Each structure stands twice: as structure tokens, then as C-alpha cells.
Chain A
Amino acid sequence: MMQSNKGATSMEVEEAVPSETKVVSKPNFKPLKAHEISDGQVQFRKISVPKHRYTPLKKAWMDIYTPIYDQMMVDIRMNVKTRNVELMTRRDTPDVSNLQKCADFVHAFMLGFDVIDAVALLRMDELYVDSFEIKDVKTLKGEHLSRAIGRLSGKGGKTKFAIENSTKTRIVIADTKIHILGSFANIKVARDSLCSLILGSPAGKVYSKLRAVTARLAERF
């Protein structure tokens, strides 16, 4: 290829400068290790633990620790004094993104997601966590706010579960904050349903919309 190109260029240029340089092959570098990226320095992540997640963290510590340390090759420790979970790259951490994934995983746990749900973050790249507040959607105060929260979850949480099951997402409603874990499109669908619930539409309406949407989503595959 290069020769033909060269030939073409030589045709255009009247007097081709005799190329002294030889044909150089593109350099092929191996991917950098985590250590080498930052010139040998260690990468660090710190995730603070809110009060209400302290005890669940203690309970589920091993479930968190095992996949991080064994599968992701990232060091993890709990700084009790500062109440932080700290993550550190080791020398044999394969990928830079591992650290970030672990950090996201821990962060998701801190937001309130279950370990089994949060572990999906470790496995798949395309999963995200989207958070928003109720007041972003509509300004509600006092009783209205309480009613809106009630509408979101439904009786015994059935509305929330319905949304979760149909859109393959996980939803955490923490007082006025709402967190959604899932793939991008699914997050969107779940968010739309939640917003319509906040704005006041009855659950039945949301269900019918969900059905239509999920059918469409399922048909695609």
C-alpha cells in the first residue's frame, strides 16, 4: 500500500525527494498496566459510607470484598475512623477501568442497591446509575410529597417492582431521592414511568404504558 501511495505521490511531484527514511511500521504498544499509567504511582479511590448503610455494609462485607479483591484485583479496605471504603490498585490489576468499576459498585451499594444487583455493574460495562430528586420533577410539599412517594412505591412496593421487572432495572427510593440502576434505554423508560407517577398519573395508566413499551423492547430482540 505504501508503495503504491508513494508511487502516486511521485507521479504528482515532479522531482521526488529521495526518501532516505525507510518504511517504518506502526509501533505496537502493549496496554499500560494500572501502575504504569500514572508513572508507577498507585491509583486510589475513596467512597464515604452514610450512616444508614454502615450496618448493611458490615453485614454484606464479604459479598463485596470477594468479587472486588478476587475478580477485579483491586485492594479494598474500610477505614473505620473516616468511615470510608478505600480502594487501591495492585500491581497486577489488569485494567484501569477495574478500579472505577469497583468504585461504582461500592458507590451503588452505598446508595442503597443490593449487592446482587450492584454486582451487575462489575460484570457489564453498559450499566449506569441515574439519580434524581422528586423536586426536580415537580415541587411538592408536605402531604403532597408523602403522597407522591407513596404513589411511586405503591402498596407493598408493587408499583416499583412492576417497573423494575418490566424494564430490567433496579430502583431505590430514598426519601426524596430516586436512584435507578440499569442500561441506558431501560433507565429512560423507568425514569419516564416514575416521573409520570410523581406528576400524578394513576398506577394503572403507568402499567399500560409499561406494557406497551416492554413489548416493544422485547420485540427488538
Chain B
Amino acid sequence: MVATPSAGVEALHRLKLTEPLMYLTPSSELATAARIASEHLFASLKPYTPKSPFDRLLVDEKFDAEQIWQQIDLQSQPLISAIRRQVNKFEKDPQELKDIFKSGESDQEQKRELVLEGEKEEDSDEEDDELDDESNEEEDEDEDEMEEDESGDGEREHKERGGVGVEDKFLNIQEMKEFMEDDEAREYGVNKKKQVMKKITRKFGEDDEEEDDDEDDDDDDDELGVLELAGEEDMSDAEDARYEDFFTSTKKRDQSKKPKVSEKVEDIDISNEEETEDSDTGDEDNDGMGSDDEMKTDNLSTHEKQLLEQRAKIEEVERENLEAKSWTMQGEVNATKRPKNSALEVDLDWERNAKPPPVITEEVSQSIEELIMKRISEGHFDDVQKAPSLPSKAPREMKELDENQSKKGLGEIYADEYAQKTGLVSQALSFSDEQKKEASLLFKKLCLKLDALSHFHFTPKPVIEDMSIQTNVPALAMEEIAPLAVSDAAMLAPEEVFSGKGDIKEEAELTQEDRKRRRAHKKRKFKAENAKRIAKKPRENTETAADGNEES
């Protein structure tokens, strides 16, 4: 049922007056009143929502609370975002607001209107709370912030048009100052700005301190400006500025505030910056910037940014390490192990150890042929020549195996053998043997003399076995004209010189056991000798018995 606007307002008032406790029990009166009120509100807000699908709120009895709420939601969501956008825009550029609301109207009126709008939204919030309690807390918060910001904007408008001589339509000291503050806030962290805002809202009631802001003309020194703000916060004492105020991150100073607050403020800041950067562009999608990370990176210090970059790099590297390697990094890879045609894309380069095959040109073949012909004409070939081996010893005479049937009978053979052995028959050595022996003997003598003349190849004297008495005389005595290399191989052999009996070890080399052994041996020998002497002595003692006794 379509209700008149007055009825709607009446219903609203009634709802406002009822006690909260009454809402707990379901009453049809209150329900109808609520429906009428919500319909009225919907209709009143309708002009501001051009895209709404509903002409009016359908609040018949048959409609469920959920359905009504959905309709309201459909209308209010875009409305809220639109209002937010508008507020941001006006915050940046209050002049526009003035133009819209005609310059004649006072600021108070403007404020009131804003407040009214805020109230309306509050009421609508209450309505929504009735129908569905939970999901409106966020919006509540949002509305509160909005109120604050709106009031802040209002405050800003106050400050405009300071009216100093330098200023004209291009240069506005106040604007410049604000810009500087924004920049500083971006550079050093959001809190500065927030604190400024907080301070500003606090001072909303106190108009005295507005002048302090106007006094600040020092825009060149950012730090001082910041200091100024900080100092205002701390009872205007610049010496209380601390390191944390300048160089700590947003998080540390954000503890008291709710995260949403920062978000909203940052939103506004960013939108402000954007407004100042691209001055006449339309509404930017500030709400579209849902990514908090981007907002945060803009407000970090350079060191923090570096840290972030490093961390990102580290993460990337770690991720790479955990993943499976690409085929190019896997060592020996067959065609089956890599994707098709992947070798074409990669720049392959490897060391080839083999020499590249020679390019046969006319000149190359010419040169080779010339070389061959020259060599042939000279007769200079690279044949392998066998090194001549010197015959060191005479070839052993090989007894030939007679393969014919022996003429002699076995008996005769044995008879001959026996005769030879016993010496009945004169041992007629074969002619060749005799001569061979003599020849070899002569040759050996000659070789010895020749080797002695040349000192390089030393050969000892040939061992001619014959029975002769050797005297262990030094070699020099034997030969006066002695070559350098002279052997005493003909002298006594070592075993002939020293048989191995007797004390081999020196006194110093003996171990304790060896000494004991030697001593024991000596004693034994002495005892044996004594025993022998005593055994001998009885024969002598038979003659001189008394003497023997005395002696022993």
C-alpha cells in the first residue's frame, strides 16, 4: 500500500519513540510501522539511485523480512558508494561543493545538510538493524568514519582562503601546505596524517588552535613541518620529537586504531594524492583499490621497500629450488626426456674436442702431392727400421733330433755309452766342440780388454773357473795401471771373508736381552773351560796333591 510521505515520517517518529525492549517481542503494529517507514525512506532516497530496479519498496504483508531487506540492500549499496565518492571528491575540492550548493549559503547550512544526510543514513541503519542485526556493524563503522571525515572536510573548508598577500588564484599557501603534509605522510607513514586528522577532529570544538595551522609557513623543510605537527600533539614542544615519529613503520603506531580506520584514511589520502596529481580527472576508482598491499608499499620507507624486494626475491628463489628443474639443467637429457622441438629454442653450445675435418681444396691436395713426389725422388721414407740387436752370446748349439731309424741296435748304443763312461774308449770330443771352446775363451779375453779401455760399459771380469788359491789382497795391489772401474770379483767372496760367526752386533746396538745372552754365553764358555781345566788338573795334581788343594 502506498503511504504518504507524512505517514512515513510519522511512522519513523513512532519507531524512534518506542523503547528498545519492545522490539524483542514480535508485534504486528511495530511491524506495519516499520514497513511504512522503510517504504517512505526508500521513496525519499529513490531520486539518488538512478539505477535501482525497484520503483518503490514492495512491503506488502506477504513479503518476508529477508525480501524487504534485499530490496533495501540493492538500493543502498550503490547509494553508499556513490555518496562516498562524492564525499572524497568534495574533500579534495571544496570549491566544487560551494558551487553546487550556491556560494550564498553559509557553511553551517552546508554542514547541517551533511549532518542530516548522515542522520538519514543512521536511521536507515537502525531500520536495517531491526530486520537483520548482524551485517550492519561494518556499515555502522563506515558511517561513523564518514561522519568524521565529513566533519573533517567541513573543518578544512574553514581553513580556506587565509587571505595573505602572496596568494592569488594560482597559489594558495594553505593548499601548498596541505600538499606538503600529504607528501610527507606518504613518505614517512600514514600515522602522521592520521594524527593530524585526529588532532584536527579533537580541535573541532576548539577554534583557538586553528590559527596555529595558519602560522605554519615553512613548507620547504618537511621535517620541520612534521615536527610542527608532532609538536602540536605533544604540547607544542619540538624537542620531544623522536626517531619513531619519523622512521618507524605504520604498524607500530597503528596499534590503538582499528585496521579499517587506516584503510579508510589511506583511501582518502590516496584519493587526495591522485586528485592533486591529476587535478581535473574525474572520480577515480578509489574503491576499486581493494589491494591493501599496494597502499602499504606506497607508505613504506626505502629500506622497507628494499626488504620487501629482497624477501620477494628470496621467495622466488626458494620456489625455484623446490620445483623440478627444467630440462636444460638436468645433465644428460635424451630426446625422450625433453619436450618436442625444445632443443631448437635453446642456444646450444658445447666444446667439440675433435678437430673439424679438413676442407680439401685444390691447394691442399696440390701441396700433398708435391710433398709425396719430393719424397719419392729423394728416397726419404719414414719406414720403421728395426734396431739391430747385438749378439751378446753365441747361439746355443741345437742338438738335432734324428728322425730316421737308428742304424745301431739298442744294445750297441748302450754298449758304446758304457764304454765312453768308463773310459775304455778315448773320449773323442767332436771336432766342433774343441774348437768352439777355444774360440769362446779367446773371445772372452778380448772382450774384457776392450771393455776395460772404455769406461762407459762396465763389465766384470769373466768368471773362469779354475782351482787357484785366492788371497784377499786389495785390487790396487794387483794392477798398477788400473782403470776406474775395477772389480775384485776374483778376490774372496764375502762369505769367504766373513762366515757369520762371532759377535755381529756392536756394543751400542745391543738390546737388554742381547746383553744378557752374551753374558750368559760368556759364563757358559768360561765354565766349560774351567771344567776342562779342572778335568786336566787331576793328572797334574796326582804329583803335587797339596799344591792342588791350596790352589783350589
Which of B215-223, B326-334, B408-416, B521-529 faces chain A?
A: B408-416
Which of A24-32, A76-84, A143-151, A158-166 faces chain B?
A: A158-166
Q: Is the C-beta of B398 less than 8 angstroms from some C-beta in chain A?
A: yes
**For A124, what are the chain B residues with a Cβ–Cβ distance below 8 Å?**
411, 414
Among A120, A127, A183: residue with most chain B CB under 10 A: A120
Within 8 A of A (CB), among B399-433: 399, 401-406, 409-415, 417, 421
Among B410, B412, B417, B421: residue with most chain A CB under 10 A: B410
**For B414, what are the chain A residues with a Cβ–Cβ distance below 8 Å?**
120, 123-124, 127, 168, 183
A-B contact count (CB 8 A): 64
A211 in contact with B399 given A123-B415, A161-B404, A168-B414 (CB within 8 Å): yes
- Separation of A157 and B414 alpha carbons in the complex (Å): 22
B411 and A166 form a contact (CB under 8 A): no
- Separation of A221 and B421 alpha carbons in the complex (Å): 8
**For A215, what are the chain B residues with a Cβ–Cβ distance below 8 Å?**
399
**For B405, what are the chain A residues with a Cβ–Cβ distance below 8 Å?**
157, 161, 164
Which of A120, A165, A183, A218 has a CB less than 8 Å from the CB of B401? A165
Binary contact readout B468-509 vs A (1 if CB under 8 angstroms, 0 otherwise): 000000000000000000000000000000000000000000
**For A86, what are the chain B residues with a Cβ–Cβ distance below 8 Å?**
none
Among A117, A157, A166, A169: residue with most chain B CB under 10 A: A117
**For B415, what are the chain A residues with a Cβ–Cβ distance below 8 Å?**
123
Instruction: Give the residue name and chain of the B residue nearest to A159 (CB).
Output: B403
**For A123, what are the chain B residues with a Cβ–Cβ distance below 8 Å?**
411, 414-415
**For A182, what are the chain B residues with a Cβ–Cβ distance below 8 Å?**
410
Binary contact readout A178-213 vs B (1 if CB under 8 angstroms, 0 otherwise): 000111000000000000000000000001001100
Within 8 A of A (CB), among B323-366: none
Q: Is the C-beta of A119 less than 8 angstroms from some C-beta in chain B?
A: yes
B406 and A181 form a contact (CB under 8 A): no
A162 in contact with B409 given A120-B414, A123-B414, A168-B414 (CB within 8 Å): no
- Separation of A109 and B404 alpha carbons in the complex (Å): 22
A161 and B409 form a contact (CB under 8 A): no
Q: Is the C-beta of A17 less than 8 angstroms from some C-beta in chain B?
A: no
Min C-beta distance of A84 to chain B, whole Å: 25
B401 and A210 form a contact (CB under 8 A): yes
Min C-beta distance of B22 to chain A, whole Å: 129
**For B409, what are the chain A residues with a Cβ–Cβ distance below 8 Å?**
114, 116-117, 119-120
- Separation of A117 and B405 alpha carbons in the complex (Å): 12
B411 and A158 form a contact (CB under 8 A): no
B401 and A116 form a contact (CB under 8 A): no
**For A157, what are the chain B residues with a Cβ–Cβ distance below 8 Å?**
405
Instruction: Give the residue name and chain of the B residue nearest to A221 (CB).
Output: B421
B410 and A116 form a contact (CB under 8 A): yes
A158 and B398 form a contact (CB under 8 A): no
A119 and B411 form a contact (CB under 8 A): yes
Q: Is the C-beta of A214 less than 8 angstroms from some C-beta in chain B?
A: yes
Instruction: Give the residue name and chain of the B residue nearest to A183 (CB).
Output: B414
**For A116, what are the chain B residues with a Cβ–Cβ distance below 8 Å?**
409-412
B411 and A164 form a contact (CB under 8 A): no
Min C-beta distance of B267 to chain A, whole Å: 109
Q: How many residues of B contact A (CB 8 A)?
A: 17
Instruction: Give the residue name and chain of the A residue nearest to B405 (CB).
Output: A161
A207 and B401 form a contact (CB under 8 A): yes
Min C-beta distance of A187 to chain B, whole Å: 12
Within 8 A of B (CB), among A40-57: none
- Separation of A127 and B410 alpha carbons in the complex (Å): 10
A161 and B399 form a contact (CB under 8 A): no
Binary contact readout B509-521 vs A (1 if CB under 8 angstroms, 0 otherwise): 0000000000000
- Separation of A5 and B401 alpha carbons in the complex (Å): 62
- Separation of A211 and B403 alpha carbons in the complex (Å): 13
- Separation of A210 and B417 alpha carbons in the complex (Å): 19
B411 and A214 form a contact (CB under 8 A): no
A162 and B403 form a contact (CB under 8 A): yes
Min C-beta distance of A114 to chain B, whole Å: 7
Binary contact readout B140-179 vs A (1 if CB under 8 angstroms, 0 otherwise): 0000000000000000000000000000000000000000
B401 and A168 form a contact (CB under 8 A): no
B401 and A211 form a contact (CB under 8 A): yes
Binary contact readout A116-151 vs B (1 if CB under 8 angstroms, 0 otherwise): 110110111001000000000000000000000000
- Separation of A122 and B417 alpha carbons in the complex (Å): 16
- Separation of A210 and B399 alpha carbons in the complex (Å): 11
- Separation of A164 and B406 alpha carbons in the complex (Å): 8
Among B399, B401, B405, B413: residue with most chain A CB under 10 A: B401
**For A221, what are the chain B residues with a Cβ–Cβ distance below 8 Å?**
417, 421
Instruction: Give the residue name and chain of the A residue nearest to B411 (CB).
Output: A120
**For A169, what are the chain B residues with a Cβ–Cβ distance below 8 Å?**
410
- Separation of A26 and B403 alpha carbons in the complex (Å): 57
**For B401, what are the chain A residues with a Cβ–Cβ distance below 8 Å?**
162, 165-166, 207, 210-211
Instruction: Give the residue name and chain of the B residue nearest to A120 (CB).
Output: B411
- Separation of A10 and B47 alpha carbons in the complex (Å): 170
B410 and A117 form a contact (CB under 8 A): yes
- Separation of A214 and B402 alpha carbons in the complex (Å): 12
- Separation of A124 and B419 alpha carbons in the complex (Å): 13
**For B402, what are the chain A residues with a Cβ–Cβ distance below 8 Å?**
161-162, 165-166
Which of B398, B410, B412, B417 has a CB less than 8 Å from the CB of A211? B398
- Separation of A120 and B405 alpha carbons in the complex (Å): 17
- Separation of A170 and B409 alpha carbons in the complex (Å): 9
A117 and B399 form a contact (CB under 8 A): no
Among A157, A159, A165, A207: residue with most chain B CB under 10 A: A165
User: Could you write out 19 A-B pairs with CB less than 8 Å apart?
Assistant: A116-B410, A116-B411, A117-B410, A122-B411, A123-B411, A123-B414, A124-B414, A127-B410, A154-B403, A161-B405, A164-B406, A165-B401, A165-B403, A168-B417, A181-B410, A211-B401, A215-B399, A221-B417, A221-B421
The 5 A-B residue pairs whose C-beta atoms are closest, nearest first, are: A116-B409, A120-B411, A158-B403, A117-B410, A120-B410
Chain A contact residues, CB within 8 Å of chain B: 114, 116-117, 119-120, 122-124, 127, 154, 157-159, 161-162, 164-166, 168-170, 181-183, 207, 210-211, 214-215, 218, 221
Chain B contact residues, CB within 8 Å of chain A: 398-399, 401-406, 409-415, 417, 421
Q: Besides the contacts A158-B404, A161-B403, what 9 more A-B pairs have beta carbons closer than 8 Å?
A: A120-B410, A120-B413, A123-B414, A127-B410, A154-B403, A161-B406, A164-B406, A168-B410, A214-B399
